[in-house]
Chain A
């Protein structure tokens, strides 16, 4: 009996920690811009760019 109560209180406090973390995230502005970060991670590094630059630029207008 006691063990169930113990387990539940442990699980509840862990869940509370995550809830607290989530609220902290919201307050610190992590959800202010949900679009920017998703595309930002796709940009390549600057250095590679300059090396292979000539191949990357497509002079034709895709229509």
Chain B
């Protein structure tokens, strides 16, 4: 029997709780499969409390607990921290609001709002789905704050706690909606009051005409002063910077419209163009609102601080007490448990430990540390708990000092000239030129009409449709991308995306998955596999843990005469079989090449049975993506050692430069060197070590398998499974730019028609009232429709789940 089938068993079991494939282990409870012990526990908790309706709203709604470490929340009980976090506190009633990034479906809302069934001390809980927050009212005398956080974590909804003050930011969308509402209200009423004029009023109705006109004027005042104020402010700002952007002609047009209308009404020469004015502002604000769609729950600006734990366990007297990381001082003794991040540069006190620096340096294999060695902040412990002595405070640690380095501070947002502003600049000059020519012409022909026609030209030149084209094209694209797990920071990124010529990949976490892949080469019986699982489960060496996890099954045997020889291997007797597992040197196997990852050999009763091959697993769809990108410049930047070079060379195009052992600084300089060669660089990475490069590049994309965990500062977050669509996304970004140009063309056409009316002196209020809305609506309709048609055609090919 070829034993590789044992790992990743042929038939797929999907976890009843979280829906993931049960690759590593299989837990069974009440005929349901669970991918890990955590998922099973959640099911049992819910089952015991009659909360299994959780599973009836959606299939497998749960959050996998596979990657969740048991976080310690004891620090939440410290009075100073408590005070910061609680919204309201009294002796019998407290209120707290947690940010829970893993909220994602109806079942989540249902369960989190039924927390009171799990613990009587919880009085009420309420979910805000779009902000992903949960407000909980509870009785602090019965339940401590830490217990509440612990309860939520045990269900897979770990609250994300930040002490950086309230999470609430001034809500710009609220004021935008208010402005939109007022503009819409005034627009509607002004239209209604303008109708009689357009349909024709008798001379006898002169008082009525006056009343309507002045009502219109008073309705237009809030539109221009409140709803439209941002355009004037922006125009003024760009005017002072001696740049012309799209806001300048808009502000000019609005001003001309209002001044001309006020003049007409006061001097009783006409009804003015107030309906056009308010309609214009209304449409512009709709465009702004449409584009302002952001992913509130995702953070694009995180720095190293959010990667560090908030608290550490410090030794005070004979006890371990939770302390804030920022209060740690040199000489403090701290305890770090499995999968926890080391919060400061420390010396190791206890026996050997393995530290995983993959997120910090890109090095994928855990580093072995011996007693007395220095451990840098940011490393993650793999294995049994260790005790450390703090050497440097968190703020001065190795990793933090890197961040305070000049190179990182310098790498600001690259200045990108937006197409819309380029177009707007030319547009403004042309309009001003035309206005001048028309004014001169009419000055000669009929000076009394000069002012009227000049204002008419400025009015219709107002590039409303032009200003709407970009928000609707990019806004629709943003939504399409979001649907496919590609979250952009804002709409500007689309434009930069379309000009990309070079792709730079990070290795660990991007090309390879964060997790390791274990394969057995050789032949073993299933009983022997179980015995190996027993053996490896007894050891805390990272490789043992990986092997033990890769074998499916549950055996309650234990190993006799178990011995672990540090740095070499393990041996023991299980069910009468004498088993030795370890390095080739330990088992005296000769002629083993080390170029293909790590090998762990197995010997049973004195006979070598084969070996486990352990290496980072590649993302499945990556080879085909790299092939499709072949026309562009592709490169690899890895912080890892050269062990994988051969495999990477096969994967990448022959001429692609591959770099290993790169420090964060080297990555950053490499990107800026490429940029000096006039390349537009996209950096795709995932770790803290990439953040400098992500920031420097034209588009920095962070790859994440779970968007609720830490991602470094970037322009876009791409979910791991959608990495294969990267080239399609870029293609769509290019299409979006083309669509935008066509939309510009349409809007110019309307402007041309309107200008010809204005310059010949035929622009009546009625013509303006018809022309302006039509141009706006046709541009909006075209760009939204075009984006959706193009993207559904391109993405539907790929949306096949098997692809």
Check A35/B185 contact, CB under 8 A, given A49-B53, A58-B56, A61-B14: no
Cβ of B52: which chain A residues have Cβ within 8 Å of it?
A: 53, 56-57
Q: CB-CB contacts of A24-63 with B at 8 A, as 1s and 0s?
A: 0011000111111001100100100110010011110111
Residues of A near B434 (CB, < 8 A) are none
Which of A23, A36, A56 lies in contact with B127, CB distance below 8 A? A36
* CB-based contact A1/B129 at 8 Å: no
Could you tell me if B181 and A22 are in contact, using CB atoms closer than 8 angstroms? yes
Assess the A63–B14 pair: CB atoms within 8 A.
Answer: yes
A12 CB within 8 Å of chain B: yes
Cα–Cα distance between A31 and B173 once the two chains are bound (Å): 10
Closest to B60 in A: A61
Query: A4-B208, A31-B177, A36-B109 in contact; A15/B127 too (CB < 8 A)?
Result: no
B28-48 vs A, Cβ < 8 Å mask (1 yes, 0 no): 001111000000000000000
State whether A36 touches B128 (Cβ < 8 A): yes
Decide if A8 is an interface residue (CB 8 Å cutoff): yes
Q: A interface, by DSSP: helix, strand, loop or mixed?
A: helix
CB–CB B16/A33 < 8 A? no
Which chain A residues border B208 with CB–CB below 8 Å?
1, 4-5
User: Are B113 and A40 interface neighbours, CB within 8 A?
Assistant: yes
- B14 pairs with A27, CB closer than 8 A: no
The range of chain B's interface size is 35 or more
The reply to whether B59 and A35 form a contact with Cβ atoms under 8 Å apart is: no
B110 within 8 A of A: yes
- Name the contact of A35 in the complex, choosing from B14, B130, B211 (C-beta under 8 A): B130
* Cα separation A63 to B622 with both chains bound (whole Å): 27
* B-side contacts of A58, CB under 8 Å: 55-56
Contacts of A33 in B (CB 8 A): 127-131
Cross-chain contact A23 with B31 (CB below 8 angstroms): no
Question: Is A8 within 8 A of B127, CB to CB?
Answer: no
B407 at the interface (CB under 8 A from A): no
In the assembled complex, the Cα of A32 lies from the Cα of B121 at a distance in Å of: 28
* CB-based contact B56/A26 at 8 Å: no
CB of B59 to closest CB in A, whole Å: 5
Tell whether A40 pairs with B56 under 8 Å between CB atoms, given A4-B208, A19-B182, A26-B177: no
B50 interfacial by beta-carbon distance below 8 Å: yes
List of A residues within 8 angstroms of B189 by Cβ: 12, 15
B109-143 vs A: 1/0 string, CB under 8 Å?
A: 11001000100000000011111000000000000
A: interface residue count bin:
20 to 34
In the complex, what's the smallest C-beta–C-beta distance from A4 to chain B, in angstroms?
7
Closest CB-CB distance, A37 to chain B, in whole Å?
9
Q: What 0/1 pattern do residues 1 to 40 of B give for CB contact below 8 A with A?
A: 0000000000000101000000000000011110000000
Q: A56-B56, A63-B14 are contacts. A19–B130 as well, Cβ < 8 Å?
A: no
The CA of A53 and the CA of B48, in the complex, are separated in Å by 12
Q: Identify the interface centre among A5, A57, A61: most chain B CB within 10 Å of its CB.
A: A61
Query: CB distance A15 to B185 under 8 Å?
Result: yes
Name the residue on A nearest B204 (C-beta).
Answer: A1
Contact B174 A27 (CB under 8 A): yes
CB distance A39 to B215 under 8 Å? no
CB distance from B564 to the nearest CB of A (A): 40
Which residues of chain A are near B16, meaning CB under 8 Å? Answer: 61
B106 beta carbon closer than 8 Å to chain A: yes
A8 to B212, CA, bound (A): 10
A7 to B109, CA, bound (A): 48
B588 interface contact, C-beta 8 A: no
B405 contacts chain A at the CB level, 8 A cutoff: no
Judge if B655 is at the interface, Cβ distance under 8 Å.
Answer: no
Q: Which residue of chain B has the shortest Cβ distance to A42 in the bound complex?
A: B106
Instruction: Let me know if A62 and B59 touch, CB within 8 A.
Output: yes
B32 partner, pick from A15, A40, A61, beta carbons under 8 A: A61
Complex Cα gap A53–B131 (Å):
32
A39 to B, closest residue via Cβ: B106
Chain A CB within 8 A of B329 CB: no
B186-211 vs A: 1/0 string, CB under 8 Å?
Answer: 00010001000000000001011001
Taking A22-B181, A56-B56 as given, write out 5 further A-B residue pairs in contact, using a Cβ cutoff of 8 Å, ordered by the A residue number.
A5-B208, A19-B182, A49-B53, A59-B31, A59-B32
18 A-B pairs with CB atoms under 8 Å apart are A1-B207, A19-B181, A19-B182, A23-B178, A26-B177, A27-B178, A32-B131, A39-B109, A43-B110, A43-B113, A46-B117, A49-B50, A56-B52, A57-B55, A59-B31, A59-B32, A61-B33, A63-B14
B residues with a Cβ closer than 8 A to A are 14, 16, 30-33, 50, 52-53, 55-56, 59-60, 106, 109-110, 113, 117, 127-131, 174, 177-178, 181-182, 185, 189, 193, 205, 207-208, 211, 215
**What are the 8 A-B residue pairs with the smallest beta carbon separation, nearest first?**
A36-B129, A35-B129, A33-B128, A39-B106, A19-B185, A57-B52, A33-B130, A26-B177
